[in-house]
Amino acid sequence: MSLSPNLSVYVTSPDSKSDSRDEKIVRELLQAIIDRRLRPGTRLPEDSLGEAFKVSRTTIRKALQKLAQQRLVTMAHNRGARVAQPSRKEAEDVFTARRLLESALIPMVHQHQQTPAYAELHKLVKQEVAAREAGQWQEEVQLSARFHVQLAVATGNLILGEQVAQLTSLSSLIISLYGTSASVGCDCGEHKDLLKLIEENKVEQAQKWMDHHLDKIYRTINTSLDSGEDVDFKSLFSS
């Protein structure tokens, strides 16, 4: 059961040898997107990307197609690929889905209790706090995302792990698009509290906490902002 490229960005996968050329490119692009080095709407021409990665367009297209299926890039016919600009509706859907999934899987984490998973989670919390104190902005965001993914992986269910990983990547993109200054550092360090609740068998409280946590993040994003995505003018100017 091989890991999807999306998951492999978050979990420290020991199988770094099974890198086909295009997966490495997928990971690098993915990383660049969630690091906000590629902003939403940025065009992704196959030629220049191929030149940058020193591969042909064929390989680039394979990578772009994979990202497109994760909704991280959009591909319009004959008009190329660009970094996705999720609509406000889509943003809401993503966070709603996350609240549903991630609070529902907490009982599984508790049930499937495995020491190594908890150790990993504690480590991530530690690193996250350290990154915040060091003012390492990008690192902190990345670690926060990894915490959420790792929690899903701690259920022992890879399917859930991948779904959460995908939603987390989309969240990064959404925050990159609609996020205010508050979206970034507002709620960090608190992950420790969640972990504590789980370990103290306060499962229901932990679920509520997670639901609240994600809702808070969603509320920080500025949904009134225009996304700049393609608008359906036909319905907008129906005279």
Partner DNA sequence: AATATTCAAATTGGATACAATCGTGTATCC
Partner DNA sequence: GGATACACGATTGTATCCAATTTGAATATT
Q: How far is CA 229 from the centre of its chain?
A: 20
Q: Choose from a second copy, DNA, none: what does 21 bind? Cβ within 5-8 Å by kind.
A: DNA
Q: Where are the beta strands (DSSP E) in the chain?
A: 43-44, 73-76, 80-83
Contacts of 114 (CB under 8 A, 6+ apart): 154, 156
Instruction: Please select the residue that binds DNA; options are 14, 17, 79, 232, rule is CB under 7 A.
Output: 79
| Residue 4 in contact with a second copy, rule: CB under 8 A | yes
Of 2, 18, 56, 113, the residue at the interface with DNA (CB under 7 A) is: 56
Contact string 68-107 vs a second copy (x = CB under 8 A): -x-------x---------x-xx--xx-xx--xx--xx--
Q: What are residue 43's phi and psi, to 5 degrees?
A: -70, 145
Name the residue among 82, 39, 42, 44 with its Cα closest to residue 179: 39
**Which listed residue (12, 14, 16, 78) binds DNA by CB under 7 A?**
78
158 binds, among a second copy, DNA, none (CB under 5 to 8 A by kind): a second copy
In sequence order, what are the beta bridge partners of 75? 81
CB of 111 to a second copy, least distance (A): 11
Residue 231 touches a second copy, criterion: CB under 8 A: no
- Say how far apart CA 116 and CA 122 lie, in whole Å: 10
Give the Cα separation of 205 and 56 in Å (integer).
52
Shortest Å, Cβ 25 to DNA: 10
Nearer to a second copy, 49 or 91 (CB): 91
Per-residue contact track with a second copy, 113 to 152, x per CB under 8 A? ----------------------------------------
Binding of DNA at residue 51 (CB under 7 A)?
Answer: no
| CB distance 170 to 72 below 8 Å | yes
In the complex, the residues that contact a second copy under the rule CB under 8 A are 1, 4, 20, 62, 65-66, 69, 77, 87, 89-90, 93-94, 96-97, 100-101, 104-105, 108, 157-160, 163, 167
